[in-house]
Amino acid sequence: MIPGTWYSLRLERIHFENERTRTFHFCIEGSEFPQWKPGQFFVCDLPLGEKRTQRWRSYSIANPCTDGHKVEFCISFKEGGAASQYFFSEIREGDAIRCKGPEGNFTLPDQPGIPLTMVCTGTGIAPFRAMLSEIDARGNPYSSVDLIFGVRNEREMLYRSEIASWCARIPNFRASICLSRQPEMPLPEHPGLQYLHGHVHQCYDSLLRDMGADRPQPQFLLCGWSAMIDQAVAALVTQHKVAGKNIRYELYG
Ligand SMILES: Cc1cc2nc3c(=O)[nH]c(=O)nc-3n(C[C@H](O)[C@H](O)[C@H](O)COP(=O)(O)OP(=O)(O)OC[C@H]3O[C@@H](n4cnc5c(N)ncnc54)[C@H](O)[C@@H]3O)c2cc1C
């Protein structure tokens, strides 16, 4: 028996974010409605072969579950990937896919008053988009929230206007956008938003340096691919002496 409840998700709309990334807007069919926590994901059963290992792929839910029967996945294209081929060339509006969930423990910490630092690259922003939408709607229970978001250039930045509006609306929220392959920095849309040249690693390095040793260590939430996560976890633990319990991550692959 396969654990978890399966839902049918019908594709309503595809939003082109940039050359390599699209947001897929689905509507959950039927009367059953999964209650997910921001940060959780669905396992999708895609028409990619006979075996479960060929067919199943996980995607973070990019919106909070207060959006009615809507589910958004923000997906980047992986050259030669079977799911990438399906999402970027085959699926059409009106098609339905089967998804199981919600799954995962990568959710907002239940510790009001702590500082929180979210670190992500590319579509690793998806769970944080759901979390920050919830914080925006319900209020910020944390002493501070820092989003450190790495992309190659500003064309690849996702949720740009939402991030700027969270800077204006969420108390003690700051966003640092790290552009690794763009030498000229754009003007920030809000004082709480900064654009930096480089990778996310330089950004949390300076954030931790600025904080000083006498302040409580932030709870780190990291999301993305192993290239970024492995380096970040190693640097936080060995260089910055961040306790293992203060680092949680969602690894995309
Ligand atoms: C819990 C969870 C949540 C996820 N959420 C998302 C999400 O919200 N958005 C999203 O785009 N993907 C997400 N993924 C990754 C997703 O499940 C697929 O692995 C991805 O879409 C590639 O599938 P594929 O069949 O095209 O490529 P595959 O051939 O399956 O890819 C093979 C491997 O390539 C690596 N890889 C895949 N894509 C990339 C990439 N863009 N950059 C670097 N390395 C990559 C991974 O190691 C992957 O296992 C998530 C994965 C997990 C485990």
Cβ of 126 below 6 Å from ligand 1:
yes
- CATH code reported for the domain at 6-103: 2.40.30.10
The answer to whether the CB of 114 falls within 8 A of the CB of 219 is: yes
Query: Is the pLDDT confidence value at 71 over 90?
Result: yes
Question: Can you give the pLDDT at residue 67?
Answer: 72
From the CA of 252, how far away is ligand 1's center (Å)?
Answer: 5
Question: Can you give the pLDDT at residue 214?
Answer: 76
Question: Can you give the pLDDT at residue 129?
Answer: 98
Cβ of 55 below 6 Å from ligand 1:
no
Query: Is the pLDDT confidence value at 1 over 50?
Result: no
From the CA of 169, how far away is ligand 1's center (Å)?
Answer: 32
Give Cβ neighbours of residue 151 (< 8 Å, ≥ 6 apart): 121, 122, 157, 158, 177, 178, 179, 180
Cβ of 228 below 6 Å from ligand 1:
no
Cβ of 41 below 6 Å from ligand 1:
yes
Tally Cβ neighbours within 10 Å of residue 185. 13
Q: Whose CA is nearest to atom 43 of ligand 1?
A: 225
Structure tokens at 214: 């006498």
Per-residue confidence band for 66, with pLDDT thresholds at 50, 70 and 90: confident
* Domain ranges (residues) in the chain: 6-103, 115-251
Separation between Cα atoms, residue 242 and residue 219, nearest integer Å: 9
Give Cβ neighbours of residue 217 (< 8 Å, ≥ 6 apart): 115, 242, 243, 246
Separation between Cα atoms, residue 219 and residue 120, nearest integer Å: 14
- Taking the CA of residue 21 as reference, the ligand 1 atom at the shortest distance is 11
Separation between Cα atoms, residue 52 and residue 117, nearest integer Å: 35
Cβ of 87 below 6 Å from ligand 1:
no
Specify the DSSP class assigned to residue 155. Answer: G
How distant is the alpha carbon of residue 30 from its chain centre? 27
Tally Cβ neighbours within 10 Å of residue 33. 11
- To test the pocket of ligand 1, the residue of 17, 24, 71, 78 to mutate (highest count of ligand atoms within 8 Å of its CB) is 78
Question: Can you give the pLDDT at residue 182?
Answer: 95
**Looking at domain 115-251, does it have CATH number 3.40.50.80?**
yes
Strand order of the sheet with strand 144-151?
193-197, 173-179, 144-151, 115-121, 219-224, 247-251
- Taking the CA of residue 253 as reference, the ligand 1 atom at the shortest distance is 47
Question: Can you give the pLDDT at residue 106?
Answer: 98
CA distances 178 to 41, 93, 200, Å, are 25, 34, 6
pLDDT tens per residue across span 223-250? 999 999 999 999 999 999 999 999 999 9
pLDDT tens per residue across span 191-223? 999 999 999 999 899 888 887 777 788 999 999
pLDDT tens per residue across span 79-136? 999 999 999 999 999 999 999 999 999 999 999 999 999 999 999 999 999 999 999 9
Specify the DSSP class assigned to residue 187. Answer: P
Per-residue confidence band for 3, with pLDDT thresholds at 50, 70 and 90: low
Name the residue among 65, 183, 54, 58 with its Cα closest to residue 123.
58
Cβ of 61 below 6 Å from ligand 1:
no
